[in-house]
Structures are given as C-alpha cells and as structure tokens.
Amino acid sequence: MSNEAFVLLLGALLAALVIWAFRRLPDERWQFLASVPVMKDSSGHWRGINFTYYGLLTANALAFGVALLIVLFGALQIKTPLTLAMILVLLLICLPSARLVAQRVEGKACTFTIAGAFFVGIFATPAVIYLFNSILIRAEMQPIPMIPALAAFAIAYAFGEGLGRLACISFGCCYGVALADSHPVLKRLFDRWHFVFSGKMKKISYSSDMEGKKVIPVQALTAVVYLLTGLLATLFFLQASYPLAFVSTMTATQAWRFLSETMRADYRGDGKFSAYQIMAVGAISFAVAVSYLEAGEIIPVPDLFAGIEAVWQPLVLLILQVLWGSVFVLFGKSMVTSADIHFHLHQDRI
C-alpha cells in the first residue's frame, strides 16, 4: 500500500463516520449508552449510574490516536516497548490535566478539557523525549529523533481531538452560538448547515437553555478541520517532511482553536480572551521555536509497513483494549446525571 493510498483510505473511513455522527449525535437518543442499577430504594426502584456515548466516543478517539501514534513511531523504527512506555508516561501526565485545567479555568469540578490536557502535553512531550533519550544514550542505543517524534504526537492529537469532538456533539457540550444571536454573515453561512440539539440532559439545554435552537455547528467544524489537518500532516510525515508535518499541524489546529472560541456559547472563563486562546498562541509559538532549535538533527526515512506491523501485535492490541476500557469508565460514567430504574415482567411472554 502506498502512502497516498493509506491516507485516502483513512480519509474515506473517517468521512463516513463523521457524516453519520453529524446527522445523528445531536439527538437525545445518542447521549446515554447504558444505565447500571447500583442501589434499591424503598419504593422498589433502583438508582442507577449512567454511562454515556460521550465516554464511548472519547475512548474511541483516544484509542485511535494512540494506535496511529504507534504506527508512526513504528514507521520511524522506534521499538514498540519504548513507544508504549512513552505513551504511558504522557497519559499519566495529560489525563489528570484534562480535569485539573478545566477546574482551574471554568471553576467546575465535574468537567474535562482536551485543550488543557493538550497544552500540558505539548510542553511535557519534549521533556519526556529528552528524558528517554538520556537513558538510551547511556545504554548506547539509538535516541528518538525529536522533530519526527513531535510530529507523530501532533498528528495523533489532531486525529484524537477531531474524533473527540463527536463525543462533544453527543453530550451537547462545547456548543456554538445560537444563529439568532450570530453575525449576519454567520447566519447566512450556517442557515442550512447547523445543529439543533434535543434532550433536557444535554449540557446545551441545562446550562444555556438552547434545546431546539439552531446553533453554529462548531464541534463539527472542529472535527473537520482537525481530521483534514491530520490527514495532510500524515502524508507529509510519510514523505519525511517532519518539520512541515509538525508545524503545520500545530499551526492549523491551534489557530482554529483560537478562532473557534469566538463562535462558542459555553462558558470559557472571564476576560476578553479565554485561557484556551492564550494556550493556543503559546502552543504555536512553542512549536515554531522547537522546530528551529532542532533543525539540524538526523532525519530518518519512514517505513509505513513497519509501522503497521508495530501496531498489529497481540500485546499492543490488548493494551489498546485496556486503554479503551479505562478511558470509557473514566469519561463515560456520568457525574451530572443519575437514573431511576424499574424492572417488570412481560406477563404475556411467560
């Protein structure tokens, strides 16, 4: 399979997924995946814990991003155990940051932010690579090339966040401004292409009372921008244009992050510019600086087939499944809803 065919196939599969998601996920039907009874009350009903499609789609996004990262690292001839160790360290840093940064910026205990986790990750990743390289050099092993590795991480992030926006559509968070309150240009632009969310349990309903209203589909726009950026950057990466892949991914995703904040209606913190916009500018500046400082390093030639072989191993697939399950439980267990469950028999079927 050629590099171009790989990217085209990936793009076709993702296009089919997002088209379905944009049509279905705003509906109330696609918020709750399951309710698990945990305690019986005096009336005979059960109190239940809700598990959401938000968790399912977030787990899908993260597992896909990690799998693609393993492919790209494998294409660089980086050993799979080393790749998995780096991913584990970064996940231990970034996953808690998703909640901690949101608490700091938005002042809410039961919320998450991928933007905050990414901002922490963009600074942590070079440090982790330097740490691993210091160990590898002492062991007289080949160090990890900085810019190609950062490009791989940036690409994985673009895909992960792009697919993660589908989770936001399901939950009704990260929502856009109502068309009725938008600039006339935006009204005309999104008069046909917009979202209408249904369901009292969606965040857009209980936080902003915008159920049933036409809103700018900012989650869909973000998904499209990030996924297209990821596809193009993957092609750059497989052509060994690592600095271009890294800087273009960081610039496109974070520039859109800055712009899209102006189209969102949910609370983004106080001030003229949100904390996430400031983070976006900082991330772009950091990416350009790192690319300049590491411009003289040796550039490896990528091997796509080696990358596919790296991920297509029983142990790697098992680890991805464990990661998927852990993320689903962490992000899928609803903290803001509960369920009252009643069971009964179908007497006519006994």
Q: What is the 3-state secondary structure (H, E, C) of the chain?
A: CCHHHHHHHHHHHHHHHHHHHHHHCCCHHHCEEEEEEEEECCCCCEEEEEEEHHHHHHHHHHHHHHHHHHHHHHHCCCCHHHHHHHHHHHHHHHHHHHHHHHHHHHCCCCCCCHHHHHHHHHHHHHHHHHHHHHHHHHCCCCCCCHHHHHHHHHHHHHHHHHHHHHHHHHHCCCCECEHHHCCHHHHHHCCCCCEECCCCCCHHHHHHCCCCCEECCHHHHHHHHHHHHHHHHHHHHHCCCHHHHHHHHHHHHHHHHHHHHHHECCCCCCCCCCHHHHHHHHHHHHHHHHHHHCCCCCCCCCCHHHHHHHHCCHHHHHHHHHHHHHHHHHHHECCCCCEEECCCCCHHHC
Q: Write down the domain spans for the chain.
A: 3-8+53-176+217-336
* Residues 232, 8 contacting (CB under 8 angstroms): no
Angstrom CA distances, 274 to 172, 261, 281, stand at 20, 8, 11
Query: In this predicted model, what pLDDT tens digit does every residue of 13-42 receive, in sequence order?
Result: 999 999 999 999 999 999 999 999 999 888
* Residues 70, 59 contacting (CB under 8 angstroms): no
The C-alpha atoms of residue 189 and residue 264 are separated, in whole angstroms, by 16
The C-alpha atoms of residue 27 and residue 222 are separated, in whole angstroms, by 19
**Quick one: pLDDT at residue 350?**
87
| 342 φ/ψ angles, rounded to the nearest 5 degrees | -125, 130
Query: In this predicted model, what pLDDT tens digit does every residue of 123-182 receive, in sequence order?
Result: 888 889 999 999 988 888 888 999 999 999 999 999 999 999 999 999 999 899 999 988
| 344 φ/ψ angles, rounded to the nearest 5 degrees | -150, 160
The C-alpha atoms of residue 82 and residue 70 are separated, in whole angstroms, by 10
The C-alpha atoms of residue 110 and residue 124 are separated, in whole angstroms, by 24
Averages of pLDDT over runs of 10 residues in the chain (350 residues) are 92 97 96 94 87 96 96 94 92 77 63 69 87 89 91 95 95 92 89 93 92 95 97 96 94 93 74 78 88 72 94 95 94 91 88
Half-sphere exposure of 282 (CA within 13 A, CB side): 14
| 185 φ/ψ angles, rounded to the nearest 5 degrees | -65, -45
pTM of structure: 0.91
First to last CA, the chain: 56
User: Bridge-partner residues for 195, per DSSP?
Assistant: 215
Q: Which residues contact 149 (CB under 8 A, 6 or more apart)?
A: 73, 76, 78, 125, 129
* Amino acid residing at 145: P
**Quick one: pLDDT at residue 44?**
79
* Residues 72, 156 contacting (CB under 8 angstroms): yes
* Amino acid residing at 251: T
